[in-house]
Structure 1
Amino acid sequence: MKEEVILIVDDEKEIRELIDIYLKGEGYKTLKAEDGEEALEILKKNEVDLIILDIMMPKLNGIEACLKIREEREMPIIMLSAKSQDIDKILGLNTGADDYLTKPFNPLELVARVKSQLRRYKRFNNSQKNDTNKENKIDSLEIEDLVINLETHEVFKDGIEIKLTPTEFDILVLLAKNRGKVFSIENIYNSVWKQEFMQSDNTVMVHIRKIREKIEDDSRNPKFIKTVWGVGYKIDK
């Protein structure tokens, strides 16, 4: 079995070493960088399965590094930040991060999130690989001009491909497979992240907004993902 490689990017040596100890204890191989520039250089020379990326760093911060990484790579990114304001979390997720933890954090919680993100990413990659062995049958969901290919993990609108992250894809599929059913934020989080939901966590709302920005003609007046105020979200087409 291939050893999974995790890149730890943080300008604080103590935090890098702490994360390193816990991840190696779970059997992961780790690489370490102290800023965004060093992280990009490491990515040029190594195959990495997941990145833990601090936001506040010298030279190239985490937001800028995440944007550059997302230009070419789809591996999961977990953001770390000493800031706790919602706007910082939203900014991190909007740049392409899959998850976000505020410092100080429980290392065991970080490990749990690493495992969750790697499971999702592995399912995504295995689905794409398995598709090469299938013939003719296309397993897809169609909602008006939106087509969700469950085999290739591709989404098309009016024939034009829309790039979604694995997390965004999983949320869209959950709603599309259960048209008419309203999912609360907690339902979505438990189904997609498979972790205990924290009431103050707005990760799902940020991802819903990102999906809408990509698939809707007008994200403020969505025709696909509807908000049921006080309850949650649904697709009822």
Structure 2
Amino acid sequence: MKVLIADDEQDMLKILKAYFEKEGFQVLLAKDGEEALELFYEEKIDLAILDWMMPKRNGITVCQEIKKNSSVKVLVLTAKSENEDELVALQSGADEYVKKPFHPGILLTRAKKLLNQGNRIQVKDLLIDVTKNKVYKNDKELEITKTELELIKCFLNHKGTILTRKKLLDIVWGFAYFGDERTVDTHVRRLRKKIGEDIIKTHHGLGYSLEDACE
């Protein structure tokens, strides 16, 4: 899994990089908010760890932009200690909030827990194991392409939300993709043949959504 860590304290970045790489994570480092967003748009990350008080753009505004454009998990770091600050972070879309100072091992544990939340999700007769990247229908494993798996994950991370073709393209194919939006229809059609016609709902003129899921 790929983790983005953004903090203007270089010593902190080095320490966290060592801890996360030892556990098998691929780590991207950013020294300010603008660099963090550049990496977010260039790379497909699974988790963003953002310091609140960063130069150029603070962690809260970076969190808001990441959440607006993706389903990436976000953990905010801060030296602030007021309860109101934690509320601001969570309202900005952050999935977790860790106060400084902290032990790197504790942060690593929090990050792992965040990434493993809801790792087995049931949708009718479909079981999605997000951690193992496997999909089962009636207990039989399906042959799913990487793009189809990313589509499923995208729908799971936006439960109850109608996703437009453009939104799906941005999240699954990436912001650098300039192809026809109808490619989404093609992949959804192929995916439906494998998982069932009624799992992904079509909202004519709007987009697609996933049937209600439970963890």
What is the TM-score normalised by the length of structure 2?
0.58
Q: CA deviation at 1:115?
A: 0.7
Q: CA deviation at 1:19?
A: 0.7
Partners in 1 of 2:156 and 2:54 — Cα distance?
36
Q: CA deviation at 1:129?
A: 7.2
The runs of at least 4 aligned residues of structure 1 exceeding 3 Å deviation read 121-131, 151-156
> What residue is the counterpart of 1:43 in the other structure?
40
Residue-by-residue CA offset, 1:184-213 (whole Å, 9 max, x unaligned): xxxxxxxxxxxxxxxxxxxxxxxxxxxxxx
Q: 1:152 to 1:51 in 2, by over 3 A?
A: closer
> What residue is the counterpart of 1:114 in the other structure?
111
Asked whether the 8 Å contact 2:71–2:158 carries over to 1, the reply is no
Partners in 1 of 2:7 and 2:23 — Cα distance?
20
Residue in structure 2 matching 1:130, options 127, 135, 138: 135
Q: CA deviation at 1:122?
A: 4.5
Asked whether the 8 Å contact 2:60–2:92 carries over to 1, the reply is yes
Q: 1:45 to 1:123 in 2, by over 3 A?
A: farther
Which structure has more relative contact order (CA 8 Å, sep 6+)? It is: 2
Q: 1:20 to 1:95 in 2, by over 3 A?
A: same
Instruction: Give unmatched runs, 5+ long, in structure 2.
Output: 122-127, 139-154, 164-215
> What residue is the counterpart of 2:207 in the other structure?
none
RMSD: 2.6
> What residue is the counterpart of 2:51 in the other structure?
54
Secondary structure of residue in 2 paired with 1:51: strand
> What residue is the counterpart of 1:67 in the other structure?
64
Please tell me the residue identity of whatever aligns with 2:52: I
> What residue is the counterpart of 2:16 in the other structure?
19
> What residue is the counterpart of 1:88 in the other structure?
85
> What residue is the counterpart of 1:137 in the other structure?
none
Q: CA deviation at 1:130?
A: 3.4
Instruction: Give unmatched runs, 5+ long, in structure 1.
Output: 135-150, 164-237
What is the TM-score normalised by the length of structure 1?
0.53
Q: CA deviation at 1:126?
A: 3.8
Partners in 2 of 1:62 and 1:12 — Cα distance?
14
Partners in 2 of 1:116 and 1:82 — Cα distance?
22
> What residue is the counterpart of 1:29 in the other structure?
26
